[in-house]
Amino acid sequence: MRQYLELRERHGPAEAREIALSGLPERQAARLGPLIGSASLAEGLSAAVPGLAAVGITTDFVDVSTEAEDAALEIMLTCTCRVAAEGLGLAETEAEPVLCELDLLATERAFPDLDVRVLARQTDRRNVCVFRFARPRLETT
């Protein structure tokens, strides 16, 4: 977050976002691709929960798939943006959703068929962060 804030100060928000995204979609593809390539989104993304817990992030994934789409909700009790803001000495009200926005943009760029949406964020004074991941189900013949 510190790096992004410094970039934003020097270059403005749009250019700072692009600089911060440099290489992130490729890392996201390498990290998530093996998890979601051959499993449902809920199953694949859930495989990351122990690793996230090891770094202090409490999150879970819920399968909300339909016949038409493979979908999962991520429910985060730990808001990485609030944690980062706190680490920088910023007040809770100064926390911005920078990290989750960069993460979601990188995910969308790494996986163009994946629809990623923010449903709730703690930086918007919600109790949890909730993100929805969905992709069309492949038709089988």
* pLDDT tens digit sequence for 66-100: 999 999 999 999 999 999 999 999 988 888 999 99
> How many structural domains compose the chain?
1
Residue 141 scores a pLDDT above 80: no
**d(Cα 105, Cα 141) in Å, to the nearest integer?**
33
What is the span of the domain harbouring residue 65? 2-136
In a domain, 72, yes or no: yes
What is the average per-residue pLDDT within 118-141?
89
Q: Which three-class secondary structure state does DSSP give residue 126?
A: coil
DSSP H helical ranges for 37-118:
41-46, 49-54, 80-87, 98-110
Rounding to the nearest 10 degrees, give the CA dihedral for residues 17, 53, 121, 85. Answer: -60
In a domain, 141, yes or no: no
pTM listed for this prediction: 0.89
In a domain, 50, yes or no: yes
* CATH value at residue 14: 3.30.1380
